[in-house]
Structure 1
Amino acid sequence: MKKRWTSRVLLVDEEERLLLLCGRDPRRPGARWWFTVGGGVEPDENYPEAAVREVREETELSLPVERLSPVVWTRQTTFSVDGQGFDQYEEYRLARVTADEARGMNILTDEARYGYRWWSTVDLATTTETVRPKKMALLLPDVLSTAGLERRPVHLGNFHEDTDPE
Structure 2
Amino acid sequence: MTTPTPPIRNAARAVVLDADQRVLLLRYDENGGFWATPGGSLEEGEDHAKATLRELGEELGIDETNIELGAQLAQRSTDHLVGGHEVRQIERYYLARVSPSDVHPACAAQPDNIREYGWWTEDELRSTSATVYPRGLADLIAAVAKGRTPQRPIILAG
Q: Alpha-carbon deviations, 1:27-46, whole Å to 9, x = none?
A: x5xx1011101111111211
Distance 2:119 2:128 in 1: 13
Task: Say if 1:22 and 1:32, in contact at 8 Å, map to a contact too.
Answer: yes
Task: Say if 1:9 and 1:94, in contact at 8 Å, map to a contact too.
Answer: yes
Task: Say if 1:17 and 1:121, in contact at 8 Å, map to a contact too.
Answer: yes
| Aligned position for 1:152 | 152
Task: Say if 2:66 and 2:102, in contact at 8 Å, map to a contact too.
Answer: no
List, as ranges, runs of 4+ consecutive aligned residues in structure 1 with deviation greater than 4 Å.
Answer: none
| Aligned position for 2:3 | none
Q: Which runs of 5+ in 2 are unaligned?
A: 1-5
Q: Give the secondary-structure state (helix, strand or coil) at the position aligned to 2:131.
A: coil
Displacement after TM superposition at 1:67 (Å): 2.3
Calculate the TM-score normalised by the size of structure 2: 0.85
Amino acid at match of 1:40: S
Q: Give the secondary-structure state (helix, strand or coil) at the position aligned to 1:85.
A: strand
Q: Taking every aligned residue pair, what percent have the same amino acid on both sides?
A: 29
Amino acid at match of 2:11: T
Q: Alpha-carbon deviations, 1:122-159, whole Å to 9, x = none?
A: 0000000000011222222112332215x1111124x3
Count of paired positions: 150
Amino acid at match of 2:40: G
Q: 1:65 to 1:86 in 2, by over 3 A?
A: farther
Distance 2:74 2:114 in 1: 26
Calculate the aligned-residue CA RMSD, in Å: 2.1
Displacement after TM superposition at 1:66 (Å): 8.1
Task: Say if 1:5 and 1:90, in contact at 8 Å, map to a contact too.
Answer: yes
- The answer to whether residue 65 in structure 2 is matched with residue 67 in structure 1 is no
Q: Alpha-carbon deviations, 1:93-149, whole Å to 9, x = none?
A: 111113xxx223212442363111110000000000000011222222112332215
Task: Say if 2:67 and 2:96, in contact at 8 Å, map to a contact too.
Answer: no
**Aligned pairs for 1:97-136 within 5 A:** 97-98=98-99, 102-108=100-106, 109=108, 110-111=111-112, 113-136=114-137
Distance 2:83 2:113 in 1: 17
**Aligned pairs for 1:5-154 within 5 A:** 5-25=10-30, 31-64=32-65, 67-80=68-81, 83-98=84-99, 102-108=100-106, 109=108, 110-111=111-112, 113-149=114-150, 151-154=151-154
Distance 2:103 2:68 in 1: 16
Distance 2:71 2:131 in 1: 26
Q: Which runs of 5+ in 1 are unaligned?
A: 160-166
Distance 1:12 1:97 in 2: 6
Distance 1:9 1:140 in 2: 12
